[in-house]
Chains A and B, each alone.
Chain A
Amino acid sequence: MDITFPYNLFTFLDMKMNSNLTWVVLIILTIASALVSKLNSHYVVLIILVFSSLKFLGIAFQFMELKKAHLFWKAMIVSFLVIFVTSIALVI
């Protein structure tokens, strides 16, 4: 096992601020999605899917700390999201 300790007070503070900001953005996007869903527009589906994708990435990269992971895992989660959102947009 490759053991290092890449952790100090500065990375902790940075992580906490990032998490706070991520949480605020996620809540705003959730409320915005609910409000947008009431609009009568062809773009509603697209806007809701974009907001959901941003929330998904926020959780994966910030809360799950995927931003620190190997590129493979980042590419995997982004690929899943692209395939999923494209499929929904094409099917619906």
Chain B
Amino acid sequence: MNNTIIDYKNIYYPPGGILIWIIIFLELITFGAALIAMAYYGNQEQELFHDSSLKLNKTYGMINTIFLLTSGFLMAISVSEIKKGNTKKFNKLLLLTMLFGLFFLGLKSLEYYDKIADGIGIGYNTFFTFYWMLTLFHVIHVIVGLVILTSVYFGVRKENSKTSIDDVEASAAFWHMCDLIWILLFPIIYLLF
């Protein structure tokens, strides 16, 4: 394991690296713009958005938020452990991080199953077009995040691992980005209308 640590105060080296932060900002701007558009249409069709939002299971949304926040917390602790040189603990915590990510996907699948069973698809109305588009894009990010974390897990486990702290931090930053996006999605889709 390469234990080189970068001076984060350098403008070109934020935690995780400048490239991942460019991606994070692009993603935040994209999801942010879509959510502002959703809020705009919500203002135009207030009754429809209110009635549609009542069809969502807020408990599922809240539990999923707790799953993602817990996963993000475990990720943060695991990064601390690997910086301390404790690879075994890092691997255990990383597995737990991924487990909570899988819990999120499991509950999201259940939510989608309920919606499809009720005949609420992407073309049901404007609210649900936004709901499906935004949450599905977020789910894709979570799946990509899990693939990246799996790759880091096996990379770090190898003897003579070439995985650096920087790689781990960049992967962690991507995973936390899924939290950040969800923290914006959850209140607007589930709570505000």
Q: Mask for B98-110, Cβ within 8 A of A = 1, else 0?
A: 0000000000000
Q: Which of B4, B173, B186 contacts A64 (CB 8 A)?
A: B173
Query: What residues of A have a CB within 8 angstroms of the CB of B16 in the complex?
Result: 64
With CB as the reference atom, state the residue of chain A lying closest to B191: A37
Chain B: interface residue total (CB-CB under 8 A): 54
Q: Which of A4, A51, A59 contacts B179 (CB 8 A)?
A: A59
Query: What residues of A have a CB within 8 angstroms of the CB of B3 in the complex?
Result: 5
Residues of chain A in range 13-34 having any CB-CB distance to chain B below 8 Å: 15-16, 19-20, 22-23, 26-27, 30-31, 33-34
Query: Would you call B13 and A59 a contact (CB within 8 A)?
Result: no
With contacts A12-B83, A73-B21 known, is A33 near B36, CB below 8 A? Answer: no
Answer whether residue A56 sits at the interface, using C-beta atoms and an 8 A cutoff: yes
Query: Would you call A2 and B5 a contact (CB within 8 A)?
Result: no
Q: Mask for B163-182, Cβ within 8 A of A = 1, else 0?
A: 00000000011001001100
Size range of the chain A interface in the assembly = 35 or more
Query: Would you call A92 and B192 a contact (CB within 8 A)?
Result: yes
Q: How far is the CB of A23 from chain B (nearest CB, A)?
A: 4
Please report the C-alpha to C-alpha distance between residue A3 and residue B4 in the assembled complex, in whole angstroms.
7
Residues of chain B in range 18-73 having any CB-CB distance to chain A below 8 Å: 21, 25, 28-29, 32, 35-36, 39-40, 42-43, 58-59, 61-62, 65-66, 69-70, 72-73
Residues of chain A in range 76-92 having any CB-CB distance to chain B below 8 Å: 76, 80, 83-84, 87-88, 91-92
With contacts A15-B80, A19-B80 known, is A70 near B9, CB below 8 A? Answer: yes
Query: What residues of A have a CB within 8 angstroms of the CB of B59 in the complex?
Result: 34
A-B contact count (CB 8 A): 146
Query: What residues of B have a CB within 8 angstroms of the CB of A64 in the complex?
Result: 15-16, 76, 172-173, 176
Other than A1-B6, A2-B10, A34-B191, give 14 A-B pairs with Cβ distance below 8 A: A12-B84, A19-B73, A19-B76, A26-B69, A27-B69, A30-B65, A30-B186, A48-B192, A56-B180, A59-B69, A69-B8, A84-B35, A88-B188, A92-B39
* Residues of A bordering B, CB below 8 Å: 1-7, 9, 12, 15-16, 19-20, 22-23, 26-27, 30-31, 33-34, 37, 45, 48-49, 51-52, 55-56, 59-60, 62-66, 68-70, 72-73, 76, 80, 83-84, 87-88, 91-92
